[in-house]
Amino acid sequence: MVIVTAAVAAGPLVRRSTNKRSTWLAIVFGIGLALVPSAVNLLQTSGLWKPTPHFAVLSRLDALGFALILFGVAMSLRAASRSGEELRKQNAVLQQEASTDYLTGLLNRRQVGLLLDYGAARARRSGDALGFIMIDLDHFKNVNDTWGHQAGDAVLVHVARLLQRRMRASDMIARYGGEEFLVVLSDPNPDGIVTIADDLRRLVEQNSAEFGGQSIPITASFGVSVSLVNTEEAVQESIGRADAALYAAKAMGRNRVVGWDQAFHEGDDAVRDHIKTADVASAPTFKIA
């Protein structure tokens, strides 16, 4: 009767936790068995029941009941630990998805922006500069139109892997949007950043993407700037300079690297008009060789 009462009382808990039913049942029946000797003693004391010799085993049920309770508690703790681990894994996956580009696995634009804001705060203390290389794949629309959008996706992934292969662990690489990539170099040499960008340009040019048994040739244009980025506004201005230099590289024939200074001094009227409209006014810059 004690066991039945305990089971009925715990019924809602068991139904609510169907995936933990065996654990709850072990605890419930353990409690019931542990209470049997007390119930027997109460009946004996009140004179309502006189046990016969073969009921002597009832005095040992409390030990079995406590064993079942301990088993149920252990199972419950184990299940809670598994649930916590699964929750941590799910949170890690969600965080990864929120900070990376779904296609290439590179940082996405939002995450690189957050990291650059942090970098601006660090630059205020250290005085270090950052180098920005803006990359845009040439005639990418033709890839989609000729080979299809799946081929275009394959090209983006291919270029992302090429960039990752060449850059340092301290550098940041992001898919900035569409067929645009942004590389951020920590504490760069202003005289060498164009060389780094041109190495990347040749790497892309010399390694065609493969899709469906076909080789897809790729070239890209590069815009470069180096600036002190000690404020969030300076970060955006520096990216704007790299973007303006990229615009100049496109206007000058594509598949080339153009630094901010070159874009400013050698660009045609269209390039200069683009620079005038870009938000690139006040961030301190370095002359790029």
Show the CA angle centred on residue 252, arms to residues 249 and 255, nearest 5°: 55
Distance CA 99, CA 109 (A): 8
Count helices and strands (H / E) in the chain. Answer: 10, 7
Distance CA 140, CA 254 (A): 12
Which residues neighbour 171 within 8 Å (Cβ) at sequence distance 6 or greater? 183, 184, 185, 186
Burial degree of 150 (CB within 10 A; 0-12, 13-18, 19+)? exposed
Q: Which of 213, 224, 283, 212 is nearest to 249 (CA)?
A: 224
The DSSP call for residue 59 is G
Using the structure block, give the residue that is written with the tokens 């041109």: 198
Q: Are 160 and 167 in contact (CB under 8 A)?
A: no
Task: Name the token pair of 107.
Answer: 């940082």
- Which of 85, 86, 97, 179 does the annotation list as catalytic? 179
Task: Name the token pair of 61.
Answer: 């049920």
Active site residue 179: yes
Q: Which of 103, 112, 110 is nearest to 133 (CA)?
A: 112
Q: Which residues pair with 253 in a beta bridge?
A: none
Residues known to be catalytic: 179
